[in-house]
């Protein structure tokens, strides 16, 4: 086996192994195409660099278009879909009032997720130490409502 064939086969093998580090189903097909070009050169079917690179390009496209979808169905990746909207995840959450909250003043504060946030009240005054529920966000502060109706 000559040097050019070995270069194609080793490069293709490295690419196939690289798929383990960078998954996605693309690099492996490029590597398989390179190994096939190395085999074609060894068998005397592909002579000259232009022919070899053209064959590699065409084989890569054929493998990607023809087989990637099949492999992706056979070996699906893990998909995690989470909410990236902070407001949506916090709405309805129960919070602790750490500084008295008034409906007409933004000096009140609530504690949630390990920190304090500016808050105002939808209805009445909510004293420090009480529990409240997040109703919505108004600019940079949360608007809360008392959980029990005894808050005045």
Answer yes or no: do 65 and 92 share one domain. no
> What is the C-alpha to C-alpha distance for residues 35 and 33, in angstroms, rounded to an integer?
5
User: Is the pLDDT score of 95 beyond 80?
Assistant: yes
Mean pLDDT of the chain, nearest integer: 86
Please tell me which residue, 77 or 131, carries the higher pLDDT value.
131
Does the residue 64 lie in any domain? yes
Going through 82-127 in order, the beta strands assigned E by DSSP cover 94-99, 108-112, 115-121
Same domain, 20 and 44: yes
Residue 48 in domain: yes
Residue 81 lies in a domain: no
Q: What is the pLDDT of residue 151?
A: 45
Q: Kindly indicate the confidence band of residue 84, based on its pLDDT and cuts at 50, 70 and 90.
A: low
Q: Would you state the pLDDT for residue 140? A: 82
pTM for this model (two decimals): 0.50
Q: Assess whether 39 and 65 both reside in one domain.
A: yes
> Are 151 and 130 spatial neighbours (Cβ–Cβ below 8 Å)?
yes
120 conformational bin, left if phi > 0, alpha if psi -120 to 50, beta if neither: beta
Q: What's the domain count of the chain? A: 2
Distances (CA, A) of 81 to 24, 87, 140: 18, 17, 27
d(CA 41, CA 2): 9
Domain containing residue 118: CATH number: 2.40.50.140
Q: What is the largest CA-CA distance in the chain?
A: 90
Q: Is 33 exposed, middle or buried (0-12, 13-18, 19+ CB in 10 A)?
A: buried
Asked whether residue 80 is assigned to any structural domain, the reply reads no
- pLDDT tens digit sequence for 7-28: 999 999 999 999 888 877 789 8
Spatial distance between the Cα atoms of 64 and 27, rounded to a whole number of angstroms:
9
Among residues 50, 45, 37, the alpha carbon closest in space to that of 4 is found at 37
pLDDT tens-place string over residues 113-144: 888 989 998 888 899 999 999 998 888 888 99
Q: What confidence tier does 152 reach under pLDDT thresholds 50, 70, 90?
A: very low
Q: Which domain holds residue 118?
A: 86-146
* Residue 43: both structure tokens together: 């068998």
């Amino acid at each position: 086996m000559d040097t050019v064939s070995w270069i194609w086969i080793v490069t293709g093998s490295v690419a196939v192994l690289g798929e383990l580090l960078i998954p996605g189903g693309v690099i492996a097909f490029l590597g398989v195409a390179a190994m096939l070009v190395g085999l074609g050169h060894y068998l005397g079917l592909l002579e000259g660099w232009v022919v070899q690179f053209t064959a590699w390009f065409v084989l890569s496209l054929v493998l990607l278009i023809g087989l990637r979808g099949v492999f992706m169905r056979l070996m699906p990746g893990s998909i995690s879909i989470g909410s990236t909207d902070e407001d949506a995840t916090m709405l309805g959450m129960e919070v602790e009032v750490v500084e008295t909250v008034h409906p007409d003043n933004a000096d009140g504060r609530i504690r949630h997720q390990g920190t304090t946030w500016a808050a105002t009240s939808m209805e009445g005054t909510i004293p420090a130490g009480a529990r409240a529920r997040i109703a919505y966000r108004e600019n940079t502060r949360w608007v809360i409502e008392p959980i029990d109706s005894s808050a005045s």
